[in-house]
Amino acid sequence: MKVDFATLRFERMQLSDLDAVLAIEQAEYSHPWGRVGFVDSLKNNDNAWVLRNAAGDLLGYFVQMVVVDEMHLLNIAVAGTAQRQGLGKLLLGYAVQQATLLKMTSMLLEVRVSNSPALTLYQSFGFELIARRKNYYQTEQQQREDALILRFALSVQEKHHVAE
């Protein structure tokens, strides 16, 4: 599917989006989130967004959670039919924009060490490796795989001004 960027729109994720979100989630991840995970995020008012085309097709989504002054990117995915067209970068950029609007100091995420496409995207965006979690993810062979923790520093205005 060729994507027309001029017609794309971001919308807050709703419960009514979950069938389409879960279809993408299950197609793209070996260990996908279930419906309960998304429902819990929505109930907790996590920062969850979907990306749609002019026809209303759901092309991707992300879920973020505020932890004090950091935004944690919990989940992000692009529909298989819309991949390799820059939508991952568009979603990530919007996620960073949301974190900036909420005056977060940084954005954190975890990624499988074997997920080269995601690592390439995150590093090209400016995320930096800050830690490694041993045996964090389960693999298809019932093994364990390390997670890399990446951080992106956000430019936020000072909230308080000190009088000189």
Q: For residue 61, indicate whether it is catalytic.
A: no
Q: For residue 140, indicate whether it is catalytic.
A: no
Spatial distance between the Cα atoms of 94 and 125, rounded to a whole number of angstroms: 12
The verdict on residue 51 lying in a domain is yes
The verdict on residue 161 lying in a domain is no
Looking from the CA of 60 toward its CB, the CA atoms found within 13 Å total 25
The verdict on residue 19 lying in a domain is yes
Whether 34 shows a pLDDT value over 60: the answer reads: yes
The verdict on residue 163 lying in a domain is no
The verdict on residue 20 lying in a domain is yes
Q: Are 149 and 129 within 8 A, CB to CB?
A: yes
Catalytic residue among 25, 61, 122, 137: 122
> Closest Cα to residue 76, out of 114, 45, 41?
41
User: Which CATH number covers residue 45?
Assistant: 3.40.630.30
Rounded to two decimals, what is the model's pTM? Answer: 0.88
Catalytic residue among 28, 70, 94, 110: 110
Spatial distance between the Cα atoms of 20 and 22, rounded to a whole number of angstroms: 5
The verdict on residue 91 lying in a domain is yes
Proportion of the chain above pLDDT 70, given as a percent? 94
The verdict on residue 57 lying in a domain is yes
Q: For 153-162, what is each residue's pLDDT tens digit?
A: 997 544 433 3
pLDDT classification of 3: cutoffs 50, 70, 90: confident
Counted domains in the chain: 1
Q: Which domain holds residue 135?
A: 5-153
Mean pLDDT, the chain, rounded, equals 90
Q: Are 135 and 146 within 8 A, CB to CB?
A: yes
Start-end of H helices in the chain: 18-28, 35-43, 87-101, 116-125
The verdict on residue 164 lying in a domain is no
